[in-house]
Amino acid sequence: MMIHILTGEDIQRALPMEQAIDAVKGAFTQLSRGQAEVPLRTALDVTRHNGVTLFMPAYLSDDDAMALKIVSVFDDNPSKGLPLIHALVVVVDAETGAPEAVMDGTYLTALRTAAASGAATDALARPDAQVMAIFGAGAQGRTQLEAVCAVRPVSAAWIYDLDRERANAVAEQVGEKLGLFIKVAETPGHAASRADVICTTTTSSSPVFDDSDVRPGTHINAIGAYTPRMQEIPPETVLRAKVVIDHHEAALAEAGDLVIPMEEGLITAEHIHAELGDVLSGARPGRESADEITLFKSVGVAVQDVAAARAALQAARELGLGKEVTL
C-alpha cells in the first residue's frame, strides 16, 4: 500500500490561500445541498491532561472525496513550549476505501479555517472593507489575516491579544509577509471600533469586545469558540447581526456564541439566517445593505478538511511535493 505523506510546508507550497478558499467554497455548497456525509465529531476528553481529542470524518459525494481528521487541543501545551493544537489528516480513496495520504493537520486546520472566513468575508463583507481587527495572535490569527486580504482590499489591520509580545510578533512577521500595516491595539475596543472586518480566534469563555464597539456595516468571522460554553461575541451583537453559520447541526450543538444567547432567551434558532453554502450558491441572500452587521459563526466542519486535503494532495502530486512510502 502506497501512502503519500505531506508536511505542513508541502501543503503551504501546494495550496495557496486563494485556492484553499475556492476549495472550501465548493465544500460548503455541497454541504448545504445535502451532498455530504458529516457525522458530528466525536470528542474524547482527556481531563487528566486538560485536553480533548476530536475525530472528524466526512465524505463529499459530488467530489467523491473522503478524509478523516484527528485533532487535539491541549490547553497546557503552550506552557510546555508545545503548540496548543496538534492534528493529522488521513485522505481515503472513496472508490476503494484505501488510505491515500497522511498529512500535517495542524497547518491544514489553520488554512481551511481561515479559508472559510475568506469565503464568508467574500460573501458577506462590504466590497469596500479595508480595515481588519484580529483577536488572538496564534496560528489562526496569522492565517485569518491572509484570508481576508485575499478577498478584500485591506489597507490596515489591528491585532489584540492578552500576550502583547505575541501580538507584536504577529504584527511584524505577517505585516512584512503581506505588505500590510498591522498595529497592536491597547484595548479590545481600539481594535473592534475601527474595523470593517473582525476575526475572533481565541479560546475565550466570555466576549472579547463590547457590543458598543461594533459599528454598522461590520462583518465578523467568529471561529474561536467551538464548544457550548465558549463565547467570543457579545449576545447583543449576535442579536442585531445577520447570522450565517457553517452547518446547522454542528452550530446548534457546539457554538457557544449562539447556544448561550438561546439559553438566555435572547434569540431562537430562527435567528440564524442561513448556512454559508446557501449564501454561496445564491439560495439565500447575503449582505443586503451597507449598514447591516453580518456574523459568520463557524465551529469547523470536516468537509473543509476533505476539500482542502484533496486540493492539496492533487497539487502536491503535480508539483512533485511530499514523499511516497510503502506500508
Instruction: State the CB neighbour count (10 A cutoff) for residue 98.
Output: 11
> Which of 69, 80, 177, 323 does the annotation list as catalytic?
69
Residue 69 designated active-site: yes
Distance CA 327, CA 322 (A): 16
Q: Is 46 helix (H, G, I), strand (E, B) or coil?
A: strand
CA distance linking residue 194 with residue 161, whole number of Å: 16
Nearest CA among 78, 67, 24, 79 for reference residue 298: 24
C-alpha cell recorded at residue 48: 487528566
C-alpha grid cell for residue 46?
482527556
CB 5 within 8 A of CB 104: no
- CA–CA separation, 140 and 194 (whole Å): 21
Specify the DSSP class assigned to residue 77.
T
Backbone angles phi and psi of 173, in degrees to 5: -70, -50
**Cα dihedral 165, 167, 172, 177 sign:** positive
DSSP 8-state code for residue 2 = E
Instruction: For residue 52, list its beta bridge partners.
Output: 45, 73
Active-site residues, by number, are 69
